[in-house]
C-alpha cells in the first residue's frame, strides 16, 4: 500500500529550519530509506510562488502568486510504501517527533488509490 504524507504547517509561525532539525529529520528519512518504505519526499516552494488554476462553470482562470498569507499550507510531502496503515502511521509519527516541540505541524496521511 502506498501512502502520501501531506505536511501542513502555518508559515507565519513555523520556525526557520536549523541544522539540528535538518539532522534529526535526515536521520528519520535515512531510516525510512533503509527500511524500503520511502518512495519520494520533498518540501514545496513558498505559497507566494504558487499558481492556482481554477475552473468554474467550464471556464478556467490562472492566477499567479503572490497570494494572501494562508493560515495553513502544505509545506512538503512524503510518499511511503508500507504493508499496513499502522506502519505508515508509525513512520509518520517518527517524522513528526523529529521536529521537536517548537513546531506546530500536522500531517494528513492518505492512502494512494491503486488500480485493481
Q: Hey, what's the cell of 14?
A: 513555523
Cite the DSSP H helix spans in 60-112: 85-97
Give the helix/strand (H/E) hosting 2.
Answer: strand 2-9
Q: In 3D, which of 39, 36, 24, 40 has the Cα closest to residue 105?
A: 24
- Condensed to tens digits (0 to 9), the pLDDT of residues 39-68 reads 999 999 888 888 989 999 999 999 887 666
Mean of the per-residue pLDDT values of the chain = 91
Average pLDDT over residues 57-82: 86
Average pLDDT over residues 26-39: 97
Give CA–CA dist 49/99, Å, rounded. Answer: 25
When pLDDT is cut at 50, 70 and 90, the band that residue 114 belongs to is: confident
Amino acid at each position: 500500500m502506498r501512502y502520501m504524507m501531506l505536511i501542513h504547517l502555518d508559515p507565519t509561525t513555523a520556525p526557520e529550519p536549523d541544522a539540528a532539525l535538518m539532522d534529526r529529520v535526515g536521520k528519520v528519512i535515512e531510516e525510512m530509506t533503509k527500511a524500503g518504505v520511502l518512495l519520494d519526499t520533498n518540501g514545496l516552494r513558498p505559497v507566494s510562488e504558487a499558481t492556482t488554476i481554477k475552473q468554474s462553470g467550464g471556464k478556467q482562470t490562472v492566477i499567479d502568486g503572490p497570494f494572501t498569507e494562508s493560515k495553513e499550507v502544505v509545506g512538503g510531502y512524503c510518499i511511503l510504501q508500507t504493508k499496513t496503515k499502522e506502519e505508515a502511521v508509525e513512520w509518520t509519527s517518527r517524522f513528526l517527533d523529529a521536529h521537536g516541540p517548537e513546531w506546530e505541524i500536522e500531517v494528513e496521511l492518505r492512502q494512494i488509490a491503486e488500480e485493481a
